[in-house]
Amino acid sequence: MSDNKTLQAVKGMNDILPDEAGLWLWFEDVVRAWLESYGYRNIRMPLLEPTALFKRAIGEVTDIVEKEMYSFADALNGDHLTLRPEGTASCVRAVLQHNLLYNAPQRLYYSGAMFRHERPQKGRYRQFHQIGVEALGFAGPDIDAEMILMCARLWRKLGIRDVTLQINTLGDTTARQRHRDKLIAYFEQFGSDLDADATRRLHSNPLRILDSKNPAMQEIIAGAPKLMDELDEEAIQHFAAVQEILKRHDVAYEINTRLVRGLDYYNRTVFEWVTTRLGAQGTICAGGRFDGLIEQIGGKPQPACGFAMGIERLLALLQEDGMENPPAPLDVYVVHQGELASSMAFVVAEQLRDAGLRVLLHCGGGSFKSQMKKADSSNAACAVIIGDDEARAGLVTLKPLRGGEQLQVVPGELPGTIGELVKLG
């Protein structure tokens, strides 16, 4: 028995329809030019990776690995696979697999869908899109600061205001170990006053307790030992150098010592760009340094730094500011009736495309009147109208659709005349 119910997309996974896709295309153009202006090169990784990669890179005791991954056994061979929840692990895996770091650091970016099994709500989806930027093989604070300056430039380019920068340092492994021991000792004192999450994380990932959003936990958290008090001299200097560059470039920031990021692999500099205008889903961009990750995934130790931004949240912010979907780009709508006219229309349309114009050739017949209606409501700058009489005379009518007189021309003159119109329009 066939089920005729219309099939729906998976919950939390959105179609981006043509009326919205124009904004995405515009955004992607801006982002690409921006990334190239900092010397970043594109890399494209598979959407599906071995589950072990994310467990190893992100950490077993993280929200993502514990409860957000789309993981399954391949029905054909039993392989354990996961739809990527983020891009850094895949990017580093690809770089190591292809030995890209041999003798040369890499500035790389990627863009695409990520998958997390979260509760869908505004700004939080199960398939969402990120632009990820990674600088691999760079140790100094200069690259951390440049990444932040880069973001500030992008917000200016996009016309985004009302985002604030929060930064923090997570120090290095030894400091974090000392801090971890102190945190466990501190939180243990509270026994059953800890909530379930905190109790569960106490011995596996106590740093994450600091990230708790539970109001009942805030007082306890406020008194917790500070990582800042454990930092080694080198990490302190690194953080100071990052801030120095930010100040020199007038990038305002707040130090948020509670910023620990959701993923295990960060150390030293971490940062987030946050807006108050998207409700609870206010982080539009987040990143930091991850000097231990490359070794953790099996490579020779190499420092690294990166960030990712959520495209849906950025576009929501732009739409909030009144940005509209740009109209579909079209220069010419070709209207034709009659056998001779139609075959001429085909030729003319191809010639106009040869000249670099964007041309919609009317298909499916209909009266001149109904075709002209479609031409008017398209976004074309002009219509080219061809009837059999004109075709026999070797002429076409050019009608500007945004004001101006129509005129008869020979097809050879069309590209030049239309080119002028499009420039004016």
In the beta sheet, which residues pair with residue 82? 49, 71
- The dihedral sign for the CA sequence 204, 207, 209, 213: negative
Return the C-alpha torsion angle 345, 349, 350, 355, nearest 10.
Answer: 140
Question: In the range 210-269, which residues lie near ligand ATP by CB under 6 A?
Answer: 262
CA distance 349 to 355: 10
For residue 319, give the 3-state DSSP assignment: helix
Q: Output 124 or 226, the one with its CB closest to ligand ATP.
A: 124
Q: Output 157 or 248, the one with its CB closest to ligand ATP.
A: 157
In the list 62, 82, 90, 130, the residue contacting ligand ATP (rule: CB under 6 A) is 130
Residue 22: CB minimum distance to ligand ATP, A: 20
Options 35-43, 143-151, 282-290, 336-344: segment touching ligand ATP (CB under 6 A): 282-290
Establish if 86 lies at the interface with ligand ATP (CB under 6 A). Answer: yes
CA distance 315 to 113: 15
Options 123-131, 326-334, 339-347, 387-395: segment touching ligand ATP (CB under 6 A): 123-131
Residue 116: CB minimum distance to ligand ATP, A: 5
In the list 54, 109, 110, 125, the residue contacting ligand ATP (rule: CB under 6 A) is 125
In the beta sheet, which residues pair with residue 304? 136
Question: In the range 291-350, which residues lie near ligand ATP by CB under 6 A?
Answer: 308-310, 312-313
* Cα–Cα nearest to 335, from 298, 369, 381, 358: 369
Q: Output 198 or 414, the one with its CB closest to ligand ATP.
A: 198
Options 118-126, 234-242, 342-350, 401-409: segment touching ligand ATP (CB under 6 A): 118-126
Q: Output 212 or 283, the one with its CB closest to ligand ATP.
A: 283
Residue labelled with tokens 């001429």: 344
For residue 266, give the 3-state DSSP assignment: coil
In the list 90, 283, 302, 342, the residue contacting ligand ATP (rule: CB under 6 A) is 283
CA distance 405 to 409: 13
Residue 98: CB minimum distance to ligand ATP, A: 25
Establish if 284 lies at the interface with ligand ATP (CB under 6 A). Answer: yes
Beta strands in 25-126 (DSSP E): 41-42, 48-50, 70-73, 80-83, 106-115
Q: Output 170 or 396, the one with its CB closest to ligand ATP.
A: 170
Residue 334: CB minimum distance to ligand ATP, A: 41
In the list 128, 187, 265, 266, the residue contacting ligand ATP (rule: CB under 6 A) is 128
Q: Output 176 or 208, the one with its CB closest to ligand ATP.
A: 208
Establish if 183 lies at the interface with ligand ATP (CB under 6 A). Answer: no
Return the C-alpha torsion angle 370, 371, 372, 373, nearest 10.
Answer: 50
Residue 395 has which token pair?
Answer: 């002429």
CA distance 266 to 214: 23
In the list 118, 197, 232, 388, the residue contacting ligand ATP (rule: CB under 6 A) is 118
170-195 b/e (C-beta count within 10 Å ≥ 16 → b): bbbeebbebbbebbeebbeeeeeebe
88 neighbors 287 (Cβ within 8 angstroms): no
Residue 12: CB minimum distance to ligand ATP, A: 8
259 neighbors 168 (Cβ within 8 angstroms): yes
Q: By the criterion CB under 6 A, which residues form the site for ligand ATP?
A: 86, 116, 118, 123-125, 128, 130, 262, 281, 283-286, 308-310, 312-313
